Amino acid sequence: MTDYRIEDIKIQIKELRDDLKEFITTRVHILIREMNQKVSAIKVALPFALVAAVCFVMSVLVLTGALVYVIALGIGVGYALLAVGVFYFLVAVIFGAMAYRGITAQNIAPEKTIHVLKEDQTWLQKEAKSA
């Protein structure tokens, strides 16, 4: 082989390496940007959710005391505590199941990045077949 061909191959390899670096860098930036958007939305809502949860727990405790008192007037303290406890347990199971179903149905995968990578895969397959 002549020196010209060897230099030409070296240049082609360098260009291919640079293209691959740019390709990977672009995809990583897309992934990072998409995940940052999802995380920032959660960060905004989290403090509000925590305050709401604390207030909810406090109100449930106060209302539970009032409910037990009212029921205890009719059936006694022990049965009132049991009735209220069973009711709260059933409510917790129902809402817990609903929450679990909602969380497992949510897809946290970076959809845009996956879509771009699938398009890239299709393009690469077409290029490989045509070469």
pLDDT value for 93? 92
User: Which has more confidence, 89 or 110?
Assistant: 89
Q: What is the pLDDT of residues 48-71, one digit of tens each?
A: 888 898 999 999 889 889 988 998
Overall number of domains in the chain: 1
CA pseudo-torsion sign 29, 31, 114, 37: negative
Full domain range(s) for residue 25: 3-130
Q: What is the pLDDT of residues 12-30, one digit of tens each?
A: 888 888 888 888 888 888 8
pLDDT value for 94? 93
pLDDT value for 77? 84
Measure the CA–CA gap between 51 and 109, rounded to whole angstroms: 28
Tell me if 64 sits within 8 A of 80, measured CB to CB. Answer: no
